[in-house]
Structure 1
Amino acid sequence: MASIEERAARAAKVASVLRPLGNGVLSRKQAERAAQLLGVHCTTVYRLRRRFLADPVASALEPRQPGRATGGRLDAAVECVIDEAVHEWLPDQRHLAHPATDLVLEVKRRCSVAGLSPPSRSTIARRWLSYREQDALARAAIPDAAIAPGTFQVRHPLDIVQVDHTQADILLVSELDGRIIGRPWLSVALDVATRCVLGFYVAMERPGAATVSLLLSRVVLRKEPWLERLGIEADWPMRGIPRTLHLDNAAEFKSRALRSGCREYGIELMYRPVGKPHFGGHIERLNRTLMERVRGLPGSTGSSVKGRKARQAEKTASLTLKQFEQWLAVEIGRRYHCSPHRGLLGLQPMQKWQDTWRASDSRCLPTQPDAELKFLIRFLPVASRTIQRDGLKLFLIRYWHPLFAAWRETRRSVTIRYHPEDLSRIFVSAGRSSFVEVRYADLRRPPISLFEQRAALRAIRARGQRAVSEREIFETVEQQRQLVVFPAGYSSATPHVTSSWRFGSEEQHRRSCTR
């Protein structure tokens, strides 16, 4: 029997003779001349030429192996037994450790029951190999098979938005006394299709349901008011209602406020498989990129414990929480969005957004403040209280509304939604879908944030005082604010209230407070 090299050399010689003959009609004289060159009969030349024209490569002319063709001369009943075992029995046996051996045993068992002569092991193996090849070809024809394993392909903006938290590798200092307050938490929402950052939120407290609500409001609402509050000029048009939020299994991603808000606006919640962080690889990579940029800031701790003492982050820390938020807005809005991205084949995220946004059917809220406020309320953190004779209390602050006069007789339980950055107003619902805006009982109180309320509470209790009154909380907050030197254009009366939350002018806000 000729070796593989000899058969390939013979096929190449035949091809060199047949190729100059072209695709036209082969005359008798040409066939005889080719047969003379190849040392075969002229009828063999015609047969070889038909094979070559069907597949004009030299390998198509290699001599065929002698012997019986695969699958021939096998009893039809035995073929039927093998076919049933391979196509019906084997796919259901997912627990088999050695499927090839078990398939042979099953075919022989069925043949024995039917009184048939069982086929050989090699015959069964060939049938199984043919089945697997056909199955692989069928799966390759599926459109999703074009996506490489390990990738997450999304075509349109806002189809998939990944959300994740990370603790930044930097130490921040207090605006009050310049002391180190720790490492902040960064929450980011990333559009997978365009790699654009739809929004971020940075805070010192560990992320919770309120963090997710505020982050999602930045994803959907206009960013101009927020950038104006920060004093940053950046082109950041990316916004809209996501179709799907891709989340891990943290408790804050399963809060009642998030689930009810997503249900209201048709946002699907998709959770990663437990223990498989690579399913959120896009946003994990973004977090690493941002932390690499953070290393150049004063107070950077680095991502590894190794060498942390040499960096002396405690001695160099000087950025406050607001300054770090400003740096992130510039880093993302001006640099990241305008830099070539490897995952976009060199395109900039901003360019990718502009190119694909026009062709997509992504949803945006109307620009009216009422629509934005309604959306924000749906995602605010939720609390439950009972209306008392003097109103209701939340975070040791008393609230009042004329409707409470009717509700307090029945001690009605109500649902409250509050904004952590502005406790001056809350939204109360007594079982209906609509919410009533409720202000402080004492309208002379200034707006404060939940962060300030908790800081004041800690300061009061640090003095050894167990009973805390509303008056003491506001007095402590005012004292702490007087210690802070705010930049020009930044109101110390409402240092933590976002512009996206305070709709309308300051005059409108003052009128609403005095109603």
Structure 2
Amino acid sequence: MLGISKAFFKVEIGQLVTYKEERFKITHLISVESVLALNLRTLESERLYIDEIKLVANDDGLKDRNVVGHNDLTLYSEEEWAQAQRRFLVIKPLLENPIRSRTDAEKIADSSGVHVATLYRWLKNYQEAGHVSALVPSKRGRKYGSKLLAQEQEKIVESVIEDIYLNKQRHKPQDVIEEVNRRCRLAKIAAPHSNTVRHRLKLLDPAATMRLRGFKEAARNKYAPILGQFPGADYPLAVVQIDHTEADIILVDEVHRKPIGRPWMTLAIDVCTRTVAGLYVTFEKPSAASVGMCIAHAICPKREYLAELGIEGDWSVWGVMSVIHTDNAKEFRGVVLDRACVEYNIDLQWRPVLLPHYGGHIERLMGTMANEIRKLPGATFSNPTKRKGYDSEKNAAMTLKEFERYLVDFIVNVYHQRVHSQLGMSPRRKWELGVMGDEHMTGTGIMPIPEDPLRVRLDFMPFFERTVQQYGIKIDCITYYDHILDPYINSIDPENKREKKTFVVRRDPRDISKIYFFDPADNRYVVIPYRNIGQPAMSVWELKEVQQLLKTQGKEDVDENMIFEALGRMRSRIEEAKHKTKAARRQATRNPSINGANPNTGKSNANLTLKSSSFPLIESASVANEDDPFAQDIEPFDEISLRR
């Protein structure tokens, strides 16, 4: 079995962890979602929820969750990534053989045409890092900025640069070279080549050099920031199947409660236990973004997700799957999706053409969900014959958020709890047996937990590439800035001195008030807010609406101020419409003839239809918080490809 990625940690007896800022030592594994642990301060035993515990790195302190010791996956070229995958395939037999010998390694090395020492080096790099990107080949030759001079020579060069170059006298490079030669003669050591001294001068920080040489204003103008505002599925997560379907239901908008169309569902099912591993619901057609968000949702714990939806219950299904089966649609073949799966050691397999039975488990799950959806108001049924006599749009009553809450509640509290005909037990019980085991079978053990769930979600999201300017980073006419960007202002690409260096940036479509900047110095993502932090948060959906509004008004040169001014006007109109809608609902209660209200009760027939469902509907988020002007449906990321 292949090793666990270093981005995850496995819960085991005797392990030191933290929980709500307290240190514990795990003593018992009592269920798939909780453990018993000894509080090291009070020496009392407590129950801890697994998805809330954190790993203790050592006795000196906690591990930094933000630092990830490898490059963003998009920074490698196709050739580098292909070479890393080839190396992984070579060492894979050794990883799968826990009792491998030197002879085994030599045979594989001979058949692969590499030296056995090279093979062991690849094996060590992968085992230490836990991810495939550790096998990306290093560039040949000396790395940019490397120094090969003797220590005494380096000291002399540094002293001369500091004494005569970094001052307001502004000596020329030739003056530095001559002084280095003079001091080396006095010290009776070999002088470095003049080109080496010139190279050291080029390595100096340009902004600091200009300031020390008396060009403070020029340095500020150029570099200072401008501030402003199936087979093999015999254990949990061995094989997960993913697919999409357009739900047979008409949903309504959050504001006017008017029909707006059918939503798309992306679902992931664990073939072994039949548990639903993850889902994603949107009005947009399937894309690599929706697939990636569903996979990330499946990998990460879901306690906070249930709390955000206001759903009671347990969804203790998380962890990295070994294999993902999909159909052959283009949204399952994106470059970002492929690289993320390889990075997390997920084997992404496509269903053989003309063999639909390979996707039978996900198809049956889709059928189960379709049968449940037909009980809801606004259902369109599977064909026009069954829909005859039923006006789906007239009876539509649920918003996208209400629909998502209904699906999750059904999955967690009904589907996972009832006996599955093929399993002979509930999916939840099958998952517990597969993980914890019993007297008849050995379980896999509790699934490793992502140390940084946000990093997992980011790895499966599309990305932007942007340069860092003096004002910060600009995306869709909106500027973002933080002091963390200062060292990268006007950075030059070390591979091409004529081009500015670009950096990887990712953005959550639900809230674009911040972006995630991949800091190459620390190999981690850093949150960068609006340059003008006084501007309100918005979604990609709202941004596109504002841009379309400005376009219809004939405004071509759109800037940030115009966008936020238009956003304010749009939200004001939405708020006015909401108040009008509430007044109309109050009038409908008084007059039974309006909106199809029941003449006996004065209540809307749509509400009666909801209550007649065989599964209780949770109170609508839009009804519970009608004054929230930000409740808008979100569009997923557009498809973004890697730079060639």
> Could you say which TM-score interval applies, normalised by the shorter chain?
0.5 to 0.7
Equivalent residue, structure 1, for 2:271:
192
Q: How has the CA–CA distance of structure 1 residues 470 and 235 changed in structure 2, closer, same or farther, with 3 Å as cutoff?
A: same
Q: Is 1:409 matched up with 2:490?
A: yes
Secondary structure of 1:234's partner? coil
Secondary structure of 2:332's partner? helix
Cα pair 2:254 2:631 within 8 Å, conserved: no
Which structure has the larger Rg?
1
Cα pair 1:422 1:497 within 8 Å, conserved: no
Deviation at 1:182, TM superposition (A): 0.7
* Structure-2 separation of matches of 1:491 and 1:239: 35
Structure possessing the higher relative contact order (Cα contacts under 8 Å, 6 or more residues apart): 2
User: Which digits, 9 at most, give the CA deviation of each residue in 1:181-240, with x for residues without a partner?
Assistant: 110000101000000001111111112222122212221222121111111112211111
* Structure-2 separation of matches of 1:199 and 1:481: 33
Residue 278 of structure 2 aligns with an amino acid whose one-letter code is G
Q: Is 1:435 matched up with 2:525?
A: yes
Q: Is 1:475 matched up with 2:565?
A: no
Count of matched residue pairs: 345
Equivalent residue, structure 1, for 2:465:
384
Deviation at 1:383, TM superposition (A): 1.9
* Structure-1 separation of matches of 2:326 and 2:465: 26
Cα pair 2:264 2:281 within 8 Å, conserved: yes
Q: How has the CA–CA distance of structure 1 residues 460 and 267 changed in structure 2, closer, same or farther, with 3 Å as cutoff?
A: same
Residue 252 of structure 2 aligns with an amino acid whose one-letter code is V
Equivalent residue, structure 1, for 2:103:
none
Residue 568 of structure 2 aligns with an amino acid whose one-letter code is E
Query: For structure 1, which segment, 210-219 or 181-190, has the greater mean C-alpha deviation from structure 2 after superposition?
Result: 210-219
Residue 436 of structure 1 aligns with an amino acid whose one-letter code is V
Secondary structure of 1:206's partner? coil
Equivalent residue, structure 1, for 2:432:
354
Give matches, 1:439-450, under 5 Å: 439-450=529-540
* Structure-2 separation of matches of 1:209 and 1:198: 18
Q: How has the CA–CA distance of structure 1 residues 391 and 293 changed in structure 2, closer, same or farther, with 3 Å as cutoff?
A: same
* Structure-2 separation of matches of 1:362 and 1:493: 45
Cα pair 1:337 1:349 within 8 Å, conserved: yes
Secondary structure of 1:398's partner? strand
Give matches, 1:100-249, under 5 Å: 152=231, 154-249=233-328
Cα pair 2:378 2:394 within 8 Å, conserved: yes
* Structure-1 separation of matches of 2:551 and 2:394: 29
Cα pair 2:274 2:427 within 8 Å, conserved: yes
User: Which digits, 9 at most, give the CA deviation of each residue in 1:435-490, with x for residues without a partner?
Assistant: 33211111122332223322333444455555543324542563366355834479
Residue from 231, 235, 250 that aligns with 2:329 = 250
Equivalent residue, structure 2, for 1:34:
none
Q: How has the CA–CA distance of structure 1 residues 392 and 491 changed in structure 2, closer, same or farther, with 3 Å as cutoff?
A: farther
Deviation at 1:492, TM superposition (A): 3.3
* Structure-2 separation of matches of 1:267 and 1:435: 23
Q: Is 1:454 matched up with 2:544?
A: yes
Deviation at 1:163, TM superposition (A): 0.9
Q: Is 1:265 matched up with 2:361?
A: no
* Structure-1 separation of matches of 2:337 and 2:445: 20
Equivalent residue, structure 1, for 2:356:
277
Residue 215 of structure 1 aligns with an amino acid whose one-letter code is C
* Structure-2 separation of matches of 1:156 and 1:282: 15
Cα pair 1:184 1:204 within 8 Å, conserved: yes
* Structure-2 separation of matches of 1:491 and 1:254: 41
Equivalent residue, structure 2, for 1:374:
455
Cα pair 1:256 1:382 within 8 Å, conserved: no
Aligned-pair identity (%)? 34
Q: Is 1:423 matched up with 2:512?
A: yes
Q: Is 1:399 matched up with 2:480?
A: yes
Residue from 585, 603, 628 that aligns with 1:492 = 628
Secondary structure of 1:347's partner? coil
Cα pair 2:264 2:283 within 8 Å, conserved: yes
* Structure-1 separation of matches of 2:376 and 2:335: 38
Deviation at 1:494, TM superposition (A): 5.9
Deviation at 1:284, TM superposition (A): 1.0
Q: How has the CA–CA distance of structure 1 residues 445 and 186 changed in structure 2, closer, same or farther, with 3 Å as cutoff?
A: same
User: Which digits, 9 at most, give the CA deviation of each residue in 1:233-265, with x for residues without a partner?
Assistant: 122111111111112222322223322222222
* Structure-1 separation of matches of 2:276 and 2:348: 19
Deviation at 1:305, TM superposition (A): 3.3
Deviation at 1:491, TM superposition (A): 8.9
Residue 511 of structure 2 aligns with an amino acid whose one-letter code is D
Deviation at 1:285, TM superposition (A): 1.2
Cα pair 2:467 2:490 within 8 Å, conserved: no
Query: For structure 1, which segment, 485-494 or 241-250, has the greater mean C-alpha deviation from structure 2 after superposition?
Result: 485-494
Residue from 284, 291, 302 that aligns with 2:370 = 291
* Structure-2 separation of matches of 1:453 and 1:246: 35
* Structure-2 separation of matches of 1:422 and 1:337: 32
Q: How has the CA–CA distance of structure 1 residues 386 and 210 changed in structure 2, closer, same or farther, with 3 Å as cutoff?
A: same
Deviation at 1:171, TM superposition (A): 0.6
Tell me the TM-score normalised to structure 1 length: 0.61
Unaligned runs of 5+ in 1: 1-150, 499-515
* Structure-2 separation of matches of 1:497 and 1:228: 20
Equivalent residue, structure 2, for 1:122:
none
Tell me the TM-score normalised to structure 2 length: 0.50
Residue 348 of structure 2 aligns with an amino acid whose one-letter code is L
Residue 418 of structure 1 aligns with an amino acid whose one-letter code is R
* Structure-2 separation of matches of 1:390 and 1:334: 50
Deviation at 1:165, TM superposition (A): 0.7
Q: How has the CA–CA distance of structure 1 residues 480 and 218 changed in structure 2, closer, same or farther, with 3 Å as cutoff?
A: farther
Unaligned runs of 5+ in 2: 1-229, 438-442, 492-499, 583-621, 635-644
